[in-house]
């Protein structure tokens, strides 16, 4: 398989759908490499699925850096995006640049930041130094305390206008792609048709240029996590528990 580059992904808009999945370690990265998936995101969702926390806010730059290095060892073909965790870019654009450089040196090929107008200058700064940026609007998990949870965004016209405006600002600032999370399909479709950059949806319907899911969610790792947008491709919860039980029985007799 030949290397998936940013121009190659961007060229898929309007032609072919883009596949993206999160990953945090070398072993799963090896399997993703074999699957032909276009892009891998070392997401700050690792705070929840790896560290067992209730949200993503506790993740720091060293943790993302560590997981980027692991994923890079396992797979080189998919385009590798690293999340900028909470606190790594909000304090100043200089700090954001320093932290983005750390992730690029660790092996990332782009970084992802959440927000609209508030990250526009940062996006311009990073892109001016050759660091591709992926935007993220709608249900932005780093704003969980402001939103009061992980519920869908864009329920009111005011919210929908704000999300659309944010997406336009992020593109204008120089973002190369944008994640649309937890918004109505119609809004995601509108943003996808207006923007020139690819839109990657999660819980945003089918009309985006691509889809992303948290790896453990799509593999059915947690039987109690069943949001309406999630199609589990297998039931790892059951498969792994059964295997472990079988092993225990074999060992203990």
List, by residue number, the catalytic residues: 181
CB of 132 to ligand KIV, least distance (A): 16
Helix (H, G, I), strand (E, B), or coil: what is residue 18? strand
Q: How many other CB atoms are found less than 10 A from the CB of residue 58?
A: 15
Residue nearest to ligand KIV (CB): 43
Q: Which is nearer to ligand KIV, 20 or 104 (CB)?
A: 20
Q: Which residues contact 98 (CB under 8 A, 6 or more apart)?
A: none
CB of 104 to ligand KIV, least distance (A): 18
Size of the site for ligand KIV (CB under 6 A): 11
In the range 56-115, which residues lie near ligand KIV by CB under 6 A? Answer: 83
Q: φ and ψ at 39, to 5 degrees?
A: -145, 145
**Mask 6-45, x = binds ligand KIV (CB under 6 A)?**
----------------x------------------x-xxx
Secondary structure of 181-247 in HEC code, one letter for each residue: ECCCHHHHHHHHHHCCCCEEEECCCCCCCEEEECHHHHCCCCCCCCCCCCCCCCCHHHHHHHHHHHH
Q: Which is nearer to ligand KIV, 163 or 202 (CB)?
A: 202
Q: Which is nearer to ligand KIV, 54 or 241 (CB)?
A: 54
188 near ligand KIV, judged by CB under 6 A:
no
219 near ligand KIV, judged by CB under 6 A:
no
H/E run at residue 116: none
Q: Which is nearer to ligand KIV, 37 or 202 (CB)?
A: 202
- Dmax over CA atoms of the chain, in Å, equals 64
User: How far apart are alpha carbons 247 and 156 in whole angstroms?
Assistant: 52
- Judged by the rule CB under 6 A, the positions of this chain that interact with ligand KIV are 22, 41, 43-45, 83, 179, 181, 202, 212, 214
């Amino acid at each position: 398989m030949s290397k998936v580059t940013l121009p190659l992904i961007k060229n898929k808009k309007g032609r072919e759908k883009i596949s993206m999945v999160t990953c945090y370690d070398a072993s799963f990265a090896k399997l993703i490499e074999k699957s032909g998936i276009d892009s891998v995101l070392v997401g700050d969702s690792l705070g929840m699925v790896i560290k067992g926390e209730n949200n993503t806010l506790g993740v720091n730059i060293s943790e993302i850096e560590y997981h980027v290095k692991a994923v890079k060892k396992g797979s080189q073909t998919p385009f590798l995006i690293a999340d900028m965790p909470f606190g790594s870019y909000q304090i100043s654009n200089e700090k954001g640049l320093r932290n983005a450089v750390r992730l690029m040196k660790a092996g990332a090929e782009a970084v992802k930041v959440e927000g609209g107008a508030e990250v526009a200058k940062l996006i311009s700064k990073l892109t001016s130094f050759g660091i591709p940026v992926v935007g993220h609007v709608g249900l932005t998990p780093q704003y969980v305390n402001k939103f009061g949870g992980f519920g869908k965004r864009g329920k009111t016209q005011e919210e929908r206008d704000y999300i659309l405006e944010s997406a336009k600002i992020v593109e204008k600032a120089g973002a190369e792609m944008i994640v649309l999370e937890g918004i109505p399909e119609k809004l995601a479709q509108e943003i996808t048709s207006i923007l020139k950059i690819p839109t990657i949806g999660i819980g945003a319907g089918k009309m985006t240029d691509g889809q992303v899911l948290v790896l453990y969610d799509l593999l059915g790792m947690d039987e109690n996590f069943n949001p309406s947008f999630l199609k589990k491709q297998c039931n790892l919860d059951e498969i792994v528990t059964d295997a472990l039980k079988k092993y225990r029985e074999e060992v203990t007799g």
